Amino acid sequence: MISNFEFQQINFENIKILLVEDNPGDARLIEEFLSEIGKVPSQLAHVECLDDAISLLDNEEFQLILLDLNLPDSRGIETFTTIKNQGVEIPIVALSGLDDETIALEAVHQGAQDYLVKGEINPHLLWRSIQYAIERQKILKDHKQILEVLHESEKELKKHRDHLEELVLLRTKELKNTQAQLVQSAKLASAGEMATGIAHELNQPLNIIQVFADNLMDSWSKGNKKDPRPCLETILGQVERAAKITNHLRTFGRETQSNSFKLADINLIVEDSLLLVSELFRLNEIKLIKEFSGVLPRVNCQPVQIEQILANLLSNAKDAMENSLKKELTLRTYKREKSVVIEIEDTGAGIAENIQSKIFDPFFTTKEVGKGSGLGLSVSHGIIEEHGGKIEVESGNDPQKGTSRTIFRILLPGSS
């Protein structure tokens, strides 16, 4: 006799077992084994064929099925699969003879909780198999429920992730639009700050045109037959110069398209940026020094945006040297490893070390109220990062020149 302590996990009084067995002797033996260990289920229903078992399962609930695989109306693995195809989720223990144990193993592989070989069954083995089958089915059911919860959680997480991705795309688009607007505003602000210099730059060719036109009119009125072509060539040259400035200003002020990247010569971009500010340097008595490398790889960039950054840095350098005794601005281009470098060095007041890390922050400015929005360097920093490059600042005393100096250094990836 097996002690009751071993079987406390399952309350047999609440268990209904369906025994599907066509051999009355085997059925009676199983009933005796259950009685011997003191584990009598609340109901032990016994049928002798598969059809009767299916009919009973349609009308009653059971916690366990003891299923003989060889019945009058079904034999072998089909007996088990027929029961499973009814949508039954009740634990099944397959019963087999000594000569068809292989079939019983196949039933276990297809979902049976256990199998017992007739002729080898004893009370302890029967109870262990029943207990194991019920507990295993409970674990599988819990596992299935957990998987269903996880699946629903995954669906919910995917839903939230998709929503977040949509929000990120939307915010990214909004951010790009805002940045584009800031870039455009910064360009127009730069053009406004450079208006005086541009006006002087345009006045020069206009004055020359007026002088030569007056000379031609005076010569014509006096009946002078001197060849007018040299004067006309000079006038046309100055018209071309003025047109270049106005066309460049129009291009500079135009809204940049996000897909307007192209391979460009960085030296030409630097020269173009000087078109808008060189007259300002002359008016402010700033000496301009150009140190351009003759051989540089091309850069995949948006030329107008790079030019706008340079114009902004050059304008800042002009302002920084307003009270300097020595006013020199040096423009350099050179190659460093795989990068093309542009340097703008001025002899202005310099940037205090404690604020150098803040100068690229939005709205940070050291200029007086009304003289700067603090967006120029922040926008410049964002544009350079979009180009896969970086912008650095270096400021301090230059012991060789005996002056303070500030260097803004732009590094852009060169094309291979």
SS3 letters across the chain:
CCCHHHHCCCCHHHCEEEEECCCHHHHHHHHHHHHHCCCCCCEEEEECCHHHHHHHHHHCCCCEEEEECCECCECCHHHHHHHHCCCCCCCEEEEECHHHHHHHHHHHHCCCCEEEECCCCCHHHHHHHHHHHHHHHHHHHHHHHHHHHHHHHHHHHHHHHHHHHHHHHHHHHHHHHHHHHHHHHHHHHHHHHCHHHHHHHHHHHHHHHHHHHHHHHHHHHCCCCCCCHHHHHHHHHHHHHHHHHHHHHHHHHCCCCCCCCEEECHHHHHHHHHHCCHHHHHHCCCEEEEEECCCCCCEEECHHHHHHHHHHHHHHHHHHCCCCCCCEEEEEEEEECCEEEEEEEECCCCCCHHHCCCCCCCCCCCCCCCCCCCCHHHHHHHHHHHCCCEEEEEEEEECCCCEEEEEEEEEEEECC
pLDDT band at 96 (very low <50, low <70, confident <90, very high): confident
Q: What is the pLDDT of residue 293?
A: 92
Q: Is the pLDDT of residue 201 over 70?
A: no
Q: What predicted TM-score, i.e. pTM, was given to this entire model? A: 0.48
pLDDT for residue 25 is more than 60: yes
Mean pLDDT of 269-277: 83
Q: Can you tell me the mean pLDDT for 285-299?
A: 92
The reported pLDDT for the residue numbered 355 is: 85
Please, which pLDDT band fits residue 9 given cuts at 50, 70 and 90?
Answer: low
Q: What is the pLDDT of residue 368?
A: 58
Average pLDDT over residues 319-348: 92
At 6 the pLDDT is 41
Q: Give the mean pLDDT of 355-370.
A: 70
- Residue 252 confidence class, pLDDT cut points 50, 70, 90: low
Residue 369 has a pLDDT of 46
pLDDT at 4: 38
Give pLDDT tens digits for 60-74.
Answer: 888 899 999 999 999
Q: Which residue has the higher pLDDT, 295 or 11?
A: 295
Q: Is it the case that residue 256 has pLDDT exceeding 60?
A: no
Residue 7: pLDDT band by 50, 70, 90 thresholds?
very low
Query: How do residues 132-148 score in pLDDT, each as one tens digit?
Result: 888 888 888 888 888 88
